[in-house]
Amino acid sequence: MDHPPVAKLAKTRTGIEGFDEITDGGLPTGRPSLVCGGAGCGKTLFAISFLVHGATRFDEPGVFMSFEESTDELAQNVASLGFDLPGLIQNKRIVLDHVRVERSEIEETGDYDLEALFIRLGYAIDSIGARRVVLDTIESLFSGLTNQGILRAELRRLFRWLKDKGVTCVITGERGEGTLTRHGLEEYVSDAVILLDHRVIDEISTRRLRIVKYRGSAHGTIAVLPVTSLGLEHTVSSERISTGIARLDTMLAGKGYFRGSTILVSGTAGSGKSSVAAHFMDAACRRGERALVFLFEESPAQVMRNMKSIGIDLQPWVDRGLLEFHAARPSACGLEMHLSRMHRAIDRRGPRSGEQPSRGISRRGRPWHADAPRRLPQEHRDHRAHDQSLARQDRG
């Protein structure tokens, strides 16, 4: 006897390319999914990315209900990622709602329920025809309850209510001691459970993602999501730019490096690596292009002094605002902090050719070419201490 084919589970794309690839389409449509992990692992970032991509790329409005951060705090935190939450709110593509939950104001009784939350959330969903919902985080909602019977009953009601509304929902949760979540209950009523992990070993920061459960779908059980996309589909340029060394340009088809390429200059101490880089910076500034130099050994003043001895004077380019130095000790912070500093420096607007010259004063009030202070900035000391603490926890 022939059986009718089983319908394939409908999925909603998150817009997070690597995640959509390993899940063969995204999160289960019309069902709740749990995203859990420790502090700083990216739960809120995952959730807000899911919501913003839905509103901007897939024509699916969304509701973000926060039990911790206010709407203003959330908008400010994600603005650096290029997410314009105020604009999406004004255009009725997203609703942000902050629900304040005070543990001292919660009385645990047999009549405790989430009916008021359902009314508030239902109104937000209906006001914009939302197809996606985020609840961040579930621990804050149940922070004052210890009765496991009430917890289990209300969690099941919440997840059933979300399914009945037909929305695709992401619920974030804090990881517990020996359990995926603090209450250890949510994973039993979620259709998909995604575990995020952030660990630092030997000052190398690694973020990992693991799909613990996905009802009705095959998936990549363990995956590592890189900072960049899993795909290599970026545009490349055939334009050439000078290396600043005429004979080297001759060796490179007489034209130099390809613009937008990454060049590794390797050699032993004293072989001229820094000199090759200095020629390249000098040539770029002579073309009127802005340049950045990141140093992890010598100070900017030492580099400029050494280069001047071989006939390369970089000081005029610093004075004109075309050349900028950033120096940091490699042990000062983890790789992620270095990458973050580079991104900020590259993205920040600088003076263009022909504009008013700039002295290039840093946030600490010191010029770019000044020697780095011996004492690390407080943000770096805090970050290093945090990295070392996480590394000890992982080794333990």
pLDDT of amino acid 6: 54
Report how far residue 58's alpha carbon sits from residue 132's, in angstroms, rounded to the nearest whole number.
Answer: 11
Degrees to nearest 5, angle at CA 40 with 39 and 41: 95
The answer, yes or no, to whether residue 158 has pLDDT greater than 60, is yes
Q: Beta strand pairing status for 323-327 and 222-223?
A: unpaired
What band does 376 get if pLDDT is binned at 50, 70 and 90?
very low
Give the 3-state secondary structure of residue 244: coil
Report how far residue 35's alpha carbon sits from residue 366's, in angstroms, rounded to the nearest whole number.
Answer: 43
Catalytic residue among 17, 21, 68, 298: 68
pLDDT of amino acid 178: 66
pLDDT of amino acid 193: 87
Report how far residue 201's alpha carbon sits from residue 204's, in angstroms, rounded to the nearest whole number.
Answer: 5
- Residue 250 preceded by cis peptide, ω within 30: no
CA distances from 232 to 18, 144, 235 (A): 12, 48, 9
- Which domains are seen in the chain, by residue range? 11-223 (3.40.50.300), 265-391 (3.40.50.300)
Average pLDDT taken over every residue of the chain: 76
pLDDT of amino acid 188: 61
Q: For this structure, is 68 an active site residue?
A: yes
Q: What is the pLDDT of residues 284-320, one digit of tens each?
A: 999 999 898 888 888 888 889 999 988 999 999 999 9
Q: Evaluate whether 351 touches 301 at the Cβ level (below 8 Å).
A: no
Beta bridge partners of 114: none
Considering 149-163, 225-239, 278-292, the range whose residues carry the highest mean pLDDT is 278-292
Q: For this structure, is 139 an active site residue?
A: no
What band does 49 get if pLDDT is binned at 50, 70 and 90?
very high
Rounded to two decimals, the pTM is 0.56
Give the 3-state secondary structure of residue 190: coil
Report how far residue 100's alpha carbon sits from residue 66's, in angstroms, rounded to the nearest whole number.
Answer: 8
Q: Evaluate whether 277 touches 265 at the Cβ level (below 8 Å).
A: yes
Beta bridge partners of 201: 204
The answer, yes or no, to whether residue 55 has pLDDT greater than 50, is yes
Catalytic residue among 108, 115, 239, 297: 297
The answer, yes or no, to whether residue 129 has pLDDT greater than 50, is yes
Report how far residue 252's alpha carbon sits from residue 212's, in angstroms, rounded to the nearest whole number.
Answer: 50
List the single range of 13-27, 180-194, 257-271 with lowest mean pLDDT.
180-194
174's CB contacts (< 8 A; 6+ apart) are 36, 37, 38, 39, 137, 139, 181, 182
Give the 3-state secondary structure of residue 154: helix
What band does 213 get if pLDDT is binned at 50, 70 and 90?
confident
Q: Evaluate whether 339 touches 385 at the Cβ level (below 8 Å).
A: no
List the single range of 145-154, 320-329, 356-365 with lowest mean pLDDT.
356-365
Q: Which of 92, 98, 18, 10 is nearest to 55 (CA)?
A: 92
Report how far residue 396's alpha carbon sits from residue 388's, in angstroms, rounded to the nearest whole number.
Answer: 12
